[in-house]
Amino acid sequence: MKPHLSHYRVFAGSLLLVTLITLPLQPISGQWPGVPATPQSQRNALGAVRAQFGWVQNATQVAPNYGAQGYGNVWQAFEGLRGSYSGFKSTLSPQQQAYGANQLAELDAGLDIIAEAFTNYQDDVSSGQPVGYALRNMCRAVRQACELWLQELNKTCSRLHVGFG
């Protein structure tokens, strides 16, 4: 078997595993079952988003040490950030969701834009760029974009009075 094919199989398997793990966590309706819109649940969910942000930052720092496997590590951490953000949004009251609809939509779009860095990495590697170089570029872009995204999340949470009764 060619070495590059095994990397893609490992990546595809990792991606499938992450997808299967996170699928049951996605809400079917606008509110997760059993997650009340209380100040404490909001603080806890926001804390989970911030913790997952830390995992993304860490993954982008160490990924270049792992070569092609580093890509999967960053992707998994980023998908965890998406999942924790989705869980956070489910703790918002209907009033907060209505008042912050535009900001929340921009945060969602921001995550979609950050995800494009992963496609850019794949395109770079397919076009012949060395994996290490492409991975370092992707990690830098993801790290910086996530920092901006978290700043916007913090501003939005302040405007929506997240975690206050």
What was the pLDDT predicted at 8? 42
Mean pLDDT of 86-90: 97
Confidence of residue 165 (pLDDT cuts 50, 70, 90): low
Q: Is the pLDDT of residue 97 over 60?
A: yes
Give 93-158 as a DSSP string.
-HHHHHHTHHHHHHHHHHHHHHHHHHHHHHHHHHTT--HHHHHHHHHHHHHHHHHHHHHHHHHHHH
Mean pLDDT of 24-41: 59
Tokens representing residue 106 in the block: 């921009």
**Percentage of the chain with pLDDT > 70?**
78
Q: Match 């996170």 to its residue by tokens.
A: 22
Q: Is the pLDDT of residue 105 over 80?
A: yes
Helices 131-160 and 68-89 sit at what angle, rounded to 10 degrees? 10
Q: Is the pLDDT of residue 67 over 90?
A: no
Q: Is the pLDDT of residue 36 over 50?
A: yes
What domains can you pick out in the chain, each with its CATH number? 38-160 (1.20.120)
Q: Is the pLDDT of residue 10 over 90?
A: no
What was the pLDDT predicted at 66? 92
What was the pLDDT predicted at 81? 98
- Tell me what the pLDDT averaged over the chain comes to: 85
What was the pLDDT predicted at 157? 97
Q: Is the pLDDT of residue 26 over 50?
A: no
What was the pLDDT predicted at 123? 97
